[in-house]
Every structure is written in structure tokens, then in C-alpha cells.
Amino acid sequence: MIKAENLQRRYGNLVALDIPELHIKKQESFGIVGNNGAGKTTFFKLILDLILPSVGAVYSKGENVKRSDHWKPYTDAFLDDRFLIDFLKPEEYFEFIGRLHGVSPDGVGEELKLYERLFSEEILGKDKLIRELSKGNQKKVGIVGSLLCRPEVVILDEPFSNIDPTSVSRLKLLLNELQEEHGMTFIISSHDLNHITEVCKRIVIIDHGKIVRDLETDEDTLEELEAYFTGL
């Protein structure tokens, strides 16, 4: 589904990302972990053609993302609040996303029923602009916006941070259900090793821009991740 080939991003003499080869399979739940500055968000921005590679390329369904827009209709993401249109109400924002995907307002309303448990009656029907919501609720709006029309590929940067524990638990259940029932491909980063192992079936560790571990998730994965980051 997604392939990185001879991929590098440099800033002057600093190599922010260096991935000779990486293949993320269709319908895979793929996790990325690493310390701040490891290159996780840089990788996401390269997949989404938000920045250009210094060397190499990212391919989606075999086509270079920087040379074609073919990937945009089946790919969605939420990296940070810059992805939001914060002068809209949540309902208006979701309807806007629906229009981009050819979904009617009624269809959007039906889809939103799936996310009511995540919203906890705090977001819809409050007559507030997105920028008037708490940071946690803004994040939930962005995450749901990326999932709303069930694109084939969803990229989420730190989705579990800055939301309350109840929402974290509900979000993990929701992501697992969507992946299992609809075969969506998830590419997710997280600093929380427990959360990432509960959601992703494959996890890579990035350190100083390089992939240093590529793990299939099993009962030992959390311990292996913890050992790596504690240096034991």
C-alpha cells in the first residue's frame, strides 16, 4: 500500500530521516515509536506530500505521491490542529469533509452515530466553533474527521495524547473495530508504548531518523519496547 524507497529528508547537514526501504501493507495497523525528533512526523509529512524528500520517494499503490494526486481521495490524516478549520462548528466541519468525499449531510449524520461514544455529548449540538472547544475535544474532532468517510489509509500523529483516559480507551476500541471490520490501513505514532501495542499489529522504532526495530506485535512486544527505551 505505502512504500518508502531510498527515502531521505535533510535539513542542511542534518539528516532528519533515512529509510532505505519500508513497505506498509494494505489493511495493516502500523505503529511508529521514537523519541522527540526521531523523524516520525517528518515521515508522515513525506507520505502526505507536505514536504519534499531530499532523496528517494514515497509510493502509494505504486505511484509516487509527489507526482500524482491519485492517493488523496483514499487517504486522510490528522497530525495537529492545523488540519482543522477552526472557524466552523464541528457539524459544519464534518459536513465539509463529507462533501469532499461525496457524502450527503444525512449520510454524515449517520456516520457520526459511530463516534457518539467518543464525543461523550461534549461536541455535537453545543453551538460552539471548533476553536472554542477544549484542546482535547478539538483533537477528537480532528481524529473523527480523518475517520469519518472510512478512507483506505489513515495517518494519526499522537492520537492518544491530550485526551482524557475514558476517551483514550474508547478511541483504542474504535480504531481496532474500524481496522478489523473495514480493513482500513492505519499508520499511527505514539509515545505511549502500552497504547501503541494495543492498537498496532506491527511496530517500528525510529531513532535519529533510522528504523532500528521492526516488530510484529505479540505478548513480548511491550517488554521489548520498554527495554529499548530504558536502555536495558
Specify whether the CB–CB gap between 197 and 34 falls below 8 A.
no
**How many angstroms separate the CA atoms of 195 and 186, rounded?**
14
Residue 232: its pLDDT value, please? 55
Q: At what angle do helices 90-100 and 135-147 cross, to 10 degrees?
A: 20
Can you give the pTM of this predicted structure? 0.95
87: Cβ contacts below 8 Å, ≥ 6 apart: 129, 130, 131
In sequence order, which ranges of 18-164 are alpha helices (DSSP H)? 40-47, 90-100, 105-112, 116-119, 135-147
DSSP letters spanning 144-210:
HHHHTT--SEEEEESTTTTS-HHHHHHHHHHHHHHHHHH--EEEEE-S-HHHHHHH-SEEEEEETTE
Q: Which domains does the chain have, with CATH numbers?
A: 2-230 (3.40.50.300)
Query: pLDDT averaged over consecutive 10-residue blocks of the chain (232 residues)?
Result: 96 94 96 95 96 96 93 95 93 94 92 90 91 95 95 96 94 94 94 96 96 96 94 69
Residue 121: its pLDDT value, please? 84
* DSSP H/E element including 31: strand 29-33
Residue 154: its pLDDT value, please? 97
Residue 176: its pLDDT value, please? 94
Residue 1: its pLDDT value, please? 92
